[in-house]
Structure 1
Amino acid sequence: MLKGRVNPDIIVYNAAISACEKGGQWQQALNLFRAMPKAKAIPDSISYNAAISACEKGSQWQQALNLFEAVLRAKGTPTVISHNAAISACHRGHQWQQALLLFEAMPRSTVKPNRVTFCALLDCPGISTQNLGGQIFQHGLLPILQESAAFQDLKVDLHEHSEGAARLTLQWWLSTTVAKRLEVSHKLDCIVVTGYGKSREAWRTSDIQAAVLDLLKGLKIDARILRENKGRIGLSLTKQDLAKLHTAGKIFSKAGNR
């Protein structure tokens, strides 16, 4: 277009930046974004979101935060997509404090966190080590999950979760729903739906099934990948497992005491 002396408009720039973001070309995305003012194409929320997401995928957390702050300087309003991408970028850069600050700033921007927000936040290792994971899960992600079909009696669906969110969801389900049923039963067979090991959407590099199996192994709970459906894990529980289920829920009692 440039060689043909055709001036790209904002739609063209946004499409090109988005293409670079999806292709993992964060530097090209930034070059296009920075070229917009010279071409008299003023960046909008789509431009910023695509550029921030490109930096997130490229593990460039500082660049992502710079762009996020540029939205504020331009007196724009960061969207939930902007926040999610920036939080995820901080997670990739092992900057959990920055991720938490972004999350806490969302109400001031009148932005409501969604499922992706909590998945990004709960994947930050520092969140769980600071005993914040249980609190964030209970007051943030849990109400969203309860409105969906994630919990179905003795089956829990962990599709669309990050590893951190999957672990906490499983711990809550085991220590509440399953524990209550096991108190009045001699034996229970439960199902954990993980998919074929690789999660979806923004969590392409996460391995939900491996994270779930690791947690169950740590709790010493009998678990097996189902032969008829390798995207599901079967649990066989007896009364002797009740103490293990209560152990899984300790993180939530700690959160309640904070």
Structure 2
Amino acid sequence: RRRLADVISFNAAISCTRAAEWALALALLDALGTSGDPFDVVSLNVALASCAQAQRWRQASDLASRFGGVSDICSCNSAVKACEKASRWQQSVGLMSLATQGALRADEITCHGILSSCGKATDWRRAVHVVHQLGTFVELNVISFDAAIAASDKASQWRHVLLLQSTASEAGAEFCPTSLGAMLRAWQRAGYWLMLPQLLQQLAGSFELNATSRCSP
């Protein structure tokens, strides 16, 4: 009982740390381990979340690896989030590999984190690859497609923008104004002038929908 109480106390202390005190969260986790009381998955997750909030991707990756890999999908997502904020897509993909090796299944949060890090790094090749790779076992949402489209648009890869648009449309995804703008540029470069009015109509509808959502109580 005393050991259980110690673990609970440590978890409460770690979870109360602010993003600027990520080092304290890691120190508390180390103290819990050296005290002879094995920490639980909550201990690891709250420490990883603290690293993610502080954008400490290196510490998050090391923490996940040091304690035998990510123990659940929440651990994976927290570590991926830390890498995403630093545009470290290589580490994001590596963390997902650790998760799958441990028989964990990536979810929409995992996919979005990886794709967003690819987008921030303007790595359109990796973004397109991740979309097709992850789309085989998880239902990608519009945010994931938006991230991949943004990466391709930044790299002026209009063909891949059109390919992603086709894939997303087949999945029934609705696009945000940013993605619709990227598609508009891609259609212009492809010479699809006859289809531009249709896209402009979608773009106008998207802006109207967003304005309505913001004005709704």
Task: Give me the TM-score of the superposition, normalised by structure 1.
Answer: 0.57
**Alignment partner of 1:136 out of 112, 126, 130:** 130
Q: What residue identity is the alignment partner of 1:145?
A: E
- CA distance in 2: counterparts of 1:177 and 1:61, whole angstroms: 30
Unaligned runs of 5+ in 2: 152-160, 189-198
The aligned counterpart of 1:226 is: 208
Summarize the alignment of residues 142-221 of structure 1 with structure 2, pairs less than 5 Å apart: 144-145=138-139, 158=142, 164=147, 174-175=165-166, 192=174, 211-212=178-179, 214-216=181-183, 218-219=185-186, 221=199
Moved more, 131-140 or 219-228: 219-228
Deviations 1:179-201 (A, max 9, x none): 9xxxxxxxxxx9947xxxxxxxx
Partner SS, residue 74 of structure 2: helix
The aligned counterpart of 2:117 is: 124
> Is 2:4 the partner of 1:12?
no
Instruction: Tell which has more relative contact order, 1 or 2 (C-alpha 8 A, sep 6+).
Output: 1
Q: Which has the higher helix share?
A: 2
Contact 1:115-1:141 at 8 Å conserved across structures: no
Distance 1:192 1:34, change over 3 A: same
Unaligned runs of 5+ in 1: 1-6, 151-157, 180-189, 194-208, 232-258
Partner SS, residue 212 of structure 2: coil
Aligned-pair CA distance for 1:64: 0.8
Task: Give me the TM-score of the superposition, normalised by structure 2.
Answer: 0.65
- CA distance in 1: counterparts of 2:145 and 2:183, whole angstroms: 17
Contact 1:119-1:165 at 8 Å conserved across structures: no
Contact 2:77-2:113 at 8 Å conserved across structures: yes
Q: How large is the Cα RMSD of the aligned pairs?
A: 3.8
Taking only the aligned residue pairs, the percentage that are identical comes to: 21
> Is 2:79 the partner of 1:96?
no
Distance 1:81 1:178, change over 3 A: closer
Q: Which has the higher strand share?
A: 1
Summarize the alignment of residues 104-123 of structure 1 with structure 2, pairs less than 5 Å apart: 104-123=97-116
Contact 1:120-1:162 at 8 Å conserved across structures: no
- CA distance in 1: counterparts of 2:66 and 2:164, whole angstroms: 41
Contact 2:61-2:91 at 8 Å conserved across structures: no
Deviations 1:117-168 (A, max 9, x none): 111111123776251322321331465337xxx6xxxxxxx4x659516759
The aligned counterpart of 2:196 is: none
- CA distance in 1: counterparts of 2:26 and 2:47, whole angstroms: 6
How many residues align? The count is 185
Partner SS, residue 132 of structure 2: helix
- CA distance in 2: counterparts of 1:78 and 1:210, whole angstroms: 37
Deviations 1:40-96 (A, max 9, x none): 542111111110111011011111122112211xxx762112222222222222322
Contact 2:14-2:25 at 8 Å conserved across structures: yes
Contact 1:123-1:162 at 8 Å conserved across structures: no
Contact 1:91-1:120 at 8 Å conserved across structures: yes
- CA distance in 2: counterparts of 1:63 and 1:31, whole angstroms: 12
Q: What residue identity is the alignment partner of 2:15?
A: S
